[in-house]
Amino acid sequence: MQDHYEVLGVGRDAGPDEIRSAYRTLAREYHPDRNKDPGAAERFKTIVEAYEVLREPERRAEYDALQEHRRTGAVMDSFEDLFSVFSDRSRDRPRRGGNIVVEVMIDLRDILTGTTREVTITRQFTCPVCSGTGAAGGVAYHACPKCRGWGEIRYRSATGSGIATNIETCSKCRGTGRIIDEPCEACGGDGVGEITVSMPIEIPPGVEPDEVLNVRGSGHEGRFGGEPGDLLVVVRVREDVAFERDGSDILQTAHVTFSQAALGDSIPVRTLESIVDVRIPPGTQSGTVITVPKKGLPTKEGGRGDLRVEIIVDTPKRLTPRARRLFLELAEEYGEDTTHMGKGRGGTRFWMR
């Protein structure tokens, strides 16, 4: 199994923000919709699973403790090796079921109120005929000679601080610790069966793009009494034609005329829920951002972001003769030199085109 820190490309002292940023960058890069490389889907799943462990302090602490134990643990002594050949305890120790990763797509407006999406997943369950051993009758197997039934190979190596133990999954038995003499007919030697189920997923208000929702215990069934894995739901947010998201704030643009910007006005602006009147102060410049409080997206803390409206001042492209005279009078009123105003190349008055 790959190291979760290496998967995300962060150090073991990385903080929550660094882990979250690394996850989002990699999730975008390896998302199957964007990356058509044959290995992208599996890589994406690995990224999601690594993030799911490292983002939660308790699970991260457990993972760190396990990795440290594996790194510094002592090599099996000869008695332990010998005992493993005759005992099922090492081979049939409880194993946690694998996680299942799925995606759901929602609209920006769904973030406001929350929503429900139904997902269909294929779950693995322990074969009831062979009790998950993969062997006929549950007994037609023998201990793997390469790993002596442990499913792992341990290597000692010298480091600057002493002797470290490196652990690899046994390639001969693929980590099962056993070699099957006669495969179970019901499962073909896999030790598991599959079932397809559909289930609703509750998506809470304020969910973030690419956020992972963890449905505990809804992954693959555990082996030999182990707990089931989790269902990891990656939430994707469909781009909205009218709004752009910035955290809990939403952004949009509103066009006003030259006169509205100069004199001030009140214009209707659409929010996620309704239409509100936004006051344009006199003298508003193009690019000015007007904030409408509490009209953005909800936060998980119970608050709500703002609607930020960027004002775009539309300059007239065609002027009537009277409008042209009025603009020239306005320019003169402000002391501007009007000698070359209203003239294009060669002296042509482009306002009249």
Low-confidence ranges of the chain (pLDDT < 50): 74-90, 345-353
pLDDT (0 to 100) of residue 304: 92
Residues 6+ apart with CB under 8 A from 209: 235, 236, 237, 245
8 Å CB contact between 155 and 166? yes
Residue 287 lies in a domain: yes
Angle (CA) 155 158 160, round 5° = 145
Q: Which of 75, 97, 126 is the last residue of a domain?
A: 75
Token digits of residue 92: 């049939």
pLDDT (0 to 100) of residue 344: 57
Residue 261 lies in a domain: yes
State the Cα–Cα distance between residues 101 and 330, nearest whole angstrom. Answer: 64
Residue 262 lies in a domain: yes
Q: Which of 75, 92, 123 is the last residue of a domain?
A: 75
State the Cα–Cα distance between residues 53 and 182, nearest whole angstrom. Answer: 37
The string of pLDDT tens digits covering residues 111-161 is: 999 999 999 999 999 998 988 888 888 887 888 998 888 888 887 776 666
Helices 57-72 and 40-54 meet at what angle, rounded to 10?
100
CATH number (domain holding residue 58): 1.10.287.110
In the chain, the number of structural domains is 2
Confirm whether pTM is higher than 0.75.
no
Residue 167 lies in a domain: no
The one-letter code for the residue type at 182 is E
Residue 255 lies in a domain: yes
Of 198, 211, 203, the residue nearest 48 (C-alpha): 211
Q: Which of 75, 107, 130 is the last residue of a domain?
A: 75
The string of pLDDT tens digits covering residues 4-39 is: 999 999 999 999 999 999 998 998 899 887 888 888
State the Cα–Cα distance between residues 228 and 183, nearest whole angstrom. Answer: 24
Residue 259 lies in a domain: yes
CATH number (domain holding residue 292): 2.60.260.20
E-assigned strand segments in 170-317 = 178-180, 192-203, 212-215, 231-237, 244-246, 249-257, 265-270, 275-280, 289-292, 307-314
User: Torsions phi, psi of 94, nearest 5?
Assistant: -55, 135
pLDDT (0 to 100) of residue 70: 65
Residue 15 lies in a domain: yes
Q: Domain of residue 280: give its range.
A: 243-314
Residue 335 lies in a domain: no
pLDDT (0 to 100) of residue 251: 96
